[in-house]
Amino acid sequence: MCGRYALTISPEELNEILGIMDLEDFPARYNIAPTQPILVVVSEEARNKGSNLPERRAVLVRWGFTPGWVKDPKQFPLLINARAETAIGKASFRAAMRHRRVLVPASGFYEWHRPSKESGEKPQAYWIKPRRGDVVAFAGLMETWSSADGSEVDTGAILTTAANAAIAPIHNRMPVVIKPEDFSRWLDCKTQEPRDVADLMKSVEEDFFEAIPVSDRVNKVTNMSADLHDRVTVEKPPPKIKPDHGQLSFF
C-alpha cells in the first residue's frame, strides 16, 4: 500500500516536468498523510476555441476516496489506495477509472517492514525515492462527493500494484508509477478506456527506486521536517520474499 509520501520540489520544477497550468506556490511537504489535502494533476480539454489539445491543471483533493453514491462518509471506510488489478471491477472505483484518472506527483513514499510478532523485532520505516530524478507521478483516481446540502468535497486515492523484487522485502504492494511518456495517455479519459491503459498499471522496474531506512519519527504526522529522510542504521535488514501477485482486496 501507500500510506505516506512526500512532495518537496518547487512549483517551477513540477510545472516543467508535468506541464501544469497556473500552478501556485506551495511549501515542501515531507510527511503527507491520509485525510490531508494532496496535489493531483487532471486533464481538461483546451479552452481555446478550435483546439483539441489537452491542458493539465493542479487541484487539491482530500486523500481518502469517497464514491459519489455514499450517503454518509463517516460510515464509509477511508479508501486511500485502490488495487490496480481489481479497481475497474469495484463499485467504489469503476466510474473514476473510466472518467477521472489523475496523476499524483511525489518525491517518494514511505513504507514499513513489519516483522512477525514472533520475531520480537520492531517495524522499520523506509523512505523510497526514485534513483534518477526528483519527482515521480503515481497513478491516481479522483471523485467529487456531494452532500445533501449541496456542498462538495474532491477526494482521491492512489493506485497500487504488486511490489517488484526490490520493494517486496519491505512490503508486498507499491504505488503504480506513470512514466512521463505515458502522462497524456493515462489522463485521457475521453479516448482511453481502462482496458487501453491496463498496461500502465504494473510495478516499475526493480532499479527505479532506492529504499533508505529512516527513523520512526515519520510515524507521527506532526513530524514534518526534512530530517525525516535521514538514513539510520538497520541492524537486521528485511528478508527477501516473493512479490504478491494476488488480487485479494481493493484497499
Mind listing the pLDDT tens digit for each residue in 117-171? 888 889 999 999 999 877 999 999 999 998 878 889 999 999 999 999 999 999 9
Confidence at 234, pLDDT banded by 50, 70, 90: confident
d(CA 84, CA 43): 20
Cross-strand bridge partners of residue 104 = 138
Q: Please give the biggest Cα pair distance in the chain.
A: 65
Which residues are within 8 A (CB) of 85 and not within 5 positions of it... i.e. 6 or more apart? 161, 162, 201, 247
Looking at residue 168, the DSSP 8-state letter turns out to be T
pLDDT digits (tens, 9 = 90+) for 18-76: 888 667 788 999 999 999 999 999 997 644 444 555 588 999 999 999 999 999 888 89
SS3 217: helix
Confidence at 89, pLDDT banded by 50, 70, 90: very high
SS3 86: coil
> Which residues have a catalytic role annotated?
2, 111
